[in-house]
């Protein structure tokens, strides 16, 4: 059994990871410890989910030789430091996105992991979602022909977010914002499905200077919006295909458009990245309408982020090929960094990096 320590006890851990982990990990792995900065939230979550150990700070988890792997759910600004410390401690790692705030730091982490002989899986885990795996199989089988255009989106909703259990300030810091926090989902899916980016042009806007958080631990806190909160990207892939991506923290969030839509010469594929219960929709040449394919899902609604942790465990125990690579993560952050430059200068930015798309794990 893989013994896992979770570092970070905020909203993401409480809402997305820990409730699903018991059902998804099965007998192959167990979460044995959780840490938060002061230990209070860690103790609360440990009691709620019957996790044996709670810690203040992450150093004691990394010092515990019985723990095999770490799940890093800390705020974005801490990812790099916690990831480097985890690899230095010789532990396998699943890190929330982005693995670091610059592509250079992600590549440094990848080099350190190779030297340490540990496996690192990098969020977002969308490429192991069953509907995305099925879309990949259809694209590779040329079921919709050559794909020349595609769209992706993630609308984060207007702050303050009702029911949010942590301080939202980090999401609006100058180094994060919607492009880094949620635009990364469709970018990972589109590049994983269609291949790497060659150039990008971006426009952005800041809709408000600040807002006041209404509930949760940070109720009454005035949150400064230090980064543009509306982003539109036009991206060209190495294949020549042109992709548009939008993400924001300034729209209500309800939309009839798919999170990802691929348009090929012979048809189209539409899929959700955030609702595991939503069917994949396919239209091929000659069909009057879309047909739907559904997949088993553990959640009645929302994303199944813990599948990334399951994937890491399968890589460690069953020899599954790693699909959530730091190489892919670094390429996407290259695109994010180039988009930020483009939005400032008004110029199209070339992307020098590339990556090998993940291996499709069996026929779907």
Q: What is the pLDDT of residues 298-307, one digit of tens each?
A: 666 667 899 9
**Of residues 287, 305, 304, 286, the one with CA closest to residue 295:** 304
Which positions of the chain have pLDDT values less than 70?
298-302, 359-364
Pick from 84, 107, 122: which residue ends a domain? 122
CATH code, domain with 80: 3.40.50.720
Domain assignment of residue 26, yes or no? yes
Considering the domain architecture, whether residues 179 and 257 belong to the same structural domain is answered as yes
Considering the domain architecture, whether residues 136 and 279 belong to the same structural domain is answered as yes
Domain assignment of residue 319, yes or no? no
Domain assignment of residue 117, yes or no? yes
pLDDT the model gives residue 232: 98
Considering the domain architecture, whether residues 215 and 107 belong to the same structural domain is answered as no
Domain assignment of residue 283, yes or no? yes
Q: What is the pLDDT of residues 273-325, one digit of tens each?
A: 988 889 999 999 878 899 999 987 766 666 789 999 999 999 999 999 999 99
Domain assignment of residue 359, yes or no? no
pLDDT the model gives residue 364: 40
Mean pLDDT estimate for the chain: 93
Considering the domain architecture, whether residues 106 and 154 belong to the same structural domain is answered as no
pLDDT the model gives residue 361: 55
Considering the domain architecture, whether residues 344 and 288 belong to the same structural domain is answered as yes
Pick from 122, 140, 160: which residue ends a domain? 122
Q: What is the pLDDT of residues 177-186, one digit of tens each?
A: 999 999 999 9
Considering the domain architecture, whether residues 135 and 116 belong to the same structural domain is answered as no
Domain assignment of residue 361, yes or no? no
C-alpha angle 272-69-178 in degrees, rounded to nearest 5: 35
Interatomic CA distance for residues 38 and 25, integer angstroms: 27
Interatomic CA distance for residues 265 and 359, integer angstroms: 24
CATH code, domain with 185: 3.30.360.10
For residues 49 and 31, the answer to whether their CB atoms sit within 8 Å is yes
Task: Provide the number of structural domains found in the chain.
Answer: 2
Interatomic CA distance for residues 66 and 357, integer angstroms: 34
Considering the domain architecture, whether residues 341 and 265 belong to the same structural domain is answered as yes
Considering the domain architecture, whether residues 67 and 150 belong to the same structural domain is answered as no
Considering the domain architecture, whether residues 152 and 196 belong to the same structural domain is answered as yes
Pick from 78, 106, 122: which residue ends a domain? 122
Considering the domain architecture, whether residues 224 and 150 belong to the same structural domain is answered as yes
Domain assignment of residue 306, yes or no? no
Interatomic CA distance for residues 328 and 92, integer angstroms: 18
pLDDT the model gives residue 223: 95
3-state secondary structure the chain: CEEEEEECCCHHHHHHHHHHHHHHHCCCEEEEEEEECCCHHHHHHHHHCCCCEEEECCHHHHHCCCCCEEEECCCHHHHHHHHHHHHHCCCEEEECCCCCCCHHHHHHHHHHHHHHCCCEEECCCHHHCHHHHHHHHHHHCCCCCCEEEEEEEEECCCCCCCCCCCCCHHHHCCCCHHHHHCCHHHHHHHHHHHCCEEEEEEEEECCCCEEECCCCCCCCCEEECCCCCEEEEEEEECCCCEEEEEEECCCCCCCCCCCEEEEECCEEEEECCCCCCCCEEEEECCCCCCEEECCCCCCCCCCCCCHHHHHHHHHHHCCCCCCCCHHHHHHHHHHHHHHHHHHHHCCCEECCCCCCCCCCCCCC
pLDDT the model gives residue 256: 82
User: Which residues form the domain of 224?
Assistant: 126-301+324-350
For residues 141 and 133, the answer to whether their CB atoms sit within 8 Å is no
pLDDT the model gives residue 298: 60
Roughly what angle, to the nearest 10 degrees, separates helices 184-194 and 326-345? 120
Domain assignment of residue 106, yes or no? yes
**Of residues 226, 180, 182, the one with CA closest to residue 335:** 180
pTM of the prediction? 0.95
If you search the block for the tokens 């899902």, which residue do you land on?
A: 297
pLDDT the model gives residue 98: 98
pLDDT the model gives residue 299: 66
């Amino acid at each position: 059994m893989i013994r896992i320590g979770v570092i970070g006890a905020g909203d993401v851990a409480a809402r997305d990871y820990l409730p699903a982990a018991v059902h998804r990990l099965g007998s192959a792995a167990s979460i044995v410890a959780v840490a938060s900065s002061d230990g209070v939230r860690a103790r609360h979550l440990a009691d709620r989910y019957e996790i044996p150990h709670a810690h203040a700070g992450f150093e004691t988890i990394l010092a515990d030789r019985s723990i095999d792997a770490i799940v890093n759910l800390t705020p974005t600004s801490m990812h790099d430091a916690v990831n480097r410390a985890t690899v230095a401690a010789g532990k396998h790692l699943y890190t929330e996105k982005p693995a670091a705030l610059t592509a250079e730091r992600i590549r440094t982490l990848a080099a350190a992991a190779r030297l340490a002989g540990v496996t690192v899986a990098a969020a977002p885990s969308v490429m192991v979602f069953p509907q995305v795996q099925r879309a990949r199989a259809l694209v590779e089988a040329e079921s919709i022909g050559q794909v020349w255009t595609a769209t992706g989106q993630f609308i984060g909703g207007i702050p303050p977010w009702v029911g949010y259990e942590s301080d939202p300030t980090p999401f609006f810091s100058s180094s994060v914002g919607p492009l880094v926090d949620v635009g990364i989902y469709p970018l990972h899916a589109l590049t994983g499905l269609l291949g790497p980016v060659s150039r990008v042009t971006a426009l952005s806007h800041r809709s408000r200077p600040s807002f006041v958080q209404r509930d949760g631990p940070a109720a009454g806190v005035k949150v400064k919006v230090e980064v543009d909160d509306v982003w539109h990207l036009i991206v060209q892939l190495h294949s020549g295909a042109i992709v548009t991506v939008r993400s924001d923290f300034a729209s209500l969030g309800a939309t009839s458009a798919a999170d990802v839509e691929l348009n090929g010469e012979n048809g189209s594929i539409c899929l959700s990245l955030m609702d595991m219960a939503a069917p994949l929709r396919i239209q091929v040449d000659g069909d009057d309408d879309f047909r739907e394919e559904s997949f088993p899902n553990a959640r009645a609604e929302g994303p199944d982020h813990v599948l990334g942790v399951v994937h890491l465990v399968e890589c460690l125990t069953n020899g599954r090929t790693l699909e959530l690579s730091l190489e892919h993560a670094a390429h996407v952050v290259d695109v994010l960094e180039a988009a930020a430059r483009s939005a400032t200068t008004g110029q199209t930015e070339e992307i020098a990096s590339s990556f090998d798309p993940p291996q499709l794990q069996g026929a779907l």
